[in-house]
Structure formats: C-alpha cells, structure tokens
Amino acid sequence: MKKKQKDPELLRKYRQSVLFNKREIAAINKYCSRYKINNRSRFMREAIISEVLRRFDRDYPSLFDQPGVQV
C-alpha cells in the first residue's frame, strides 16, 4: 500500500507554549475525562483555531455593515 504524501504547507513546525493555573488545568482535565478526549494537543489546537476563524468571520467587513452607507 502506497504511503499518502503530506502537504508541506500543512506540516506543523512552529511551537507555542501555554501556561495554566491550577483551576484552569483542573477544568481542562475534567472536560477531557468527561468527553473522553485523548489527544489534548489536537483538542487545544482545534479550539484555538476555531475561535480565531470565528472572530475573523465576525470581524470581516461587509458592504451593509459599513457606517455611512445607505441602502
């Protein structure tokens, strides 16, 4: 069976670190155990990226939201 080629653009090469306090890590641990999340890196990456994309979408200017434009 042929191995699937990975897109070099999607290769993760940049590392970021996040520090949590006791309450935050306890909440994350409880959430992960309750919802059976085994891959915490993936969970946090998806949560961060989904929030970033949601804000980009919300903040994207549209023709009808600009002040001074009469319809």
Q: What pLDDT score was predicted for residue 70?
A: 57
Report, as an integer, the average pLDDT of 8-12: 88
pLDDT band at 6 (very low <50, low <70, confident <90, very high): confident
Report, as an integer, the average pLDDT of 13-39: 97
Q: What pLDDT score was predicted for residue 5?
A: 80
Q: What pLDDT score was predicted for residue 68?
A: 62
d(CA 50, CA 58): 12
Q: Model pTM?
A: 0.69
Question: For 36, left (φ over 0), alpha (ψ -120 to 50), or beta?
Answer: left
